[in-house]
Amino acid sequence: MLREITGFSNPLVKDARALRDKKARRETGRFLAEGLRILTEGLEAGFAPIQLWRTEASADHPLVKALERAAGETLVTSPDILGKLSGKDNPGQVLGVYAEFATPLAELDRSAADIWLVAQAMRDPGNLGTTMRTGDAVGAGGVILIDDCADPFSVEAVRASMGAIFTQKVVRTNWAEFIAWLRDGPGQLVGTSLNTDVDYQAASYAAPTFVLTGNESQGLPESYEADCDLLVKMPMRGKADSLNAAVATAVMAYEVLNQQRRVLVG
């Protein structure tokens, strides 16, 4: 189905734009993703938009056509309205409205990957999206969100994920449930912390490795650290005592991947 939307005051514009706010996402169970690259990533992962918004000019692009065939409906509109929906002066050619999804912890298949990322109270949506992107890069199975994290379906997180929102499993849970689930099967829980002398390169990681990163300003609660199998730290050679949370997660995740690669090679 294809409809033309010409007015800023069209209720469909208002409804789609409202998805930039958490309240509307919660009420409708829908979220926004922008840009041909991210939407195509979604399609390849099996996610079709409920609504595809595109400009007239992009009608003939083969990737846009593929999205249009899969979409529930296609709304053709002006670059100005697309810009209003995306909140960017220079929007991409397409924007999609999707149904939110999340994997219940009980349904997570830990044997599907050797690395899992676990974020505790990661509050910055950019950090969270970047962490999903890193998860994709290291071949992680998904990102497990503990406590009060940023919304993985926010526009900022989806944008920073560069499509990994569609390829990484996303689980939202709390610490008690996570630990109960974790201990019901194999898995090494490794936390990055200031409260240890173990260098992250001196430790050995056992698959599946769960890489745990704490809140941007507080780090991990002490009681959570006590539940870890291992606490490690990165060398800090300057004045600061910590890395950006998404950076710390990535440096750790690549170390785990590198050890797994060495085991495979030799």
Write out the residues near its own copies by the rule CB under 8 A. 41, 44-45, 126, 130, 133-139, 160, 162-164, 167, 201, 234-240, 242-244, 246-247, 250-251, 254, 257-258, 261
48 vs 137 by CB, closer to its own copies:
137
- Alpha-carbon distance of 218 to 201, in angstroms, equals 24
200 vs 224 by CB, closer to its own copies:
200
CB atoms within 10 A of CB 104: 9
181 vs 254 by CB, closer to its own copies:
254
Q: HSE (CB half, 13 Å, CA atoms) of 134?
A: 26
Closest approach of its own copies to the CB of residue 1, in Å? 29
User: 49, 142, 26: which is closest to 95 by C-alpha?
Assistant: 49
Rounded-to-10 torsion of CA 105, 111, 114, 115: -10
Q: Going by DSSP bridges, is the β-strand pair 94-99/51-55 parallel, antiparallel, or unpaired?
A: antiparallel
Closest approach of its own copies to the CB of residue 226, in Å? 26
Which residues, in sequence order, are CB contacts of 38 under 8 Å at separation 6+? 158, 159, 161, 162, 163, 165, 166
Closest approach of its own copies to the CB of residue 79, in Å? 19
- Alpha-carbon distance of 32 to 88, in angstroms, equals 13
31 vs 200 by CB, closer to its own copies:
200
Q: HSE (CB half, 13 Å, CA atoms) of 65?
A: 4
139 vs 186 by CB, closer to its own copies:
139
Closest approach of its own copies to the CB of residue 231, in Å? 18
Closest approach of its own copies to the CB of residue 250, in Å? 4
- Alpha-carbon distance of 54 to 96, in angstroms, equals 9
Q: Which residue has the tokens 């999205």?
A: 67
Closest approach of its own copies to the CB of residue 199, in Å? 9
175 vs 254 by CB, closer to its own copies:
254
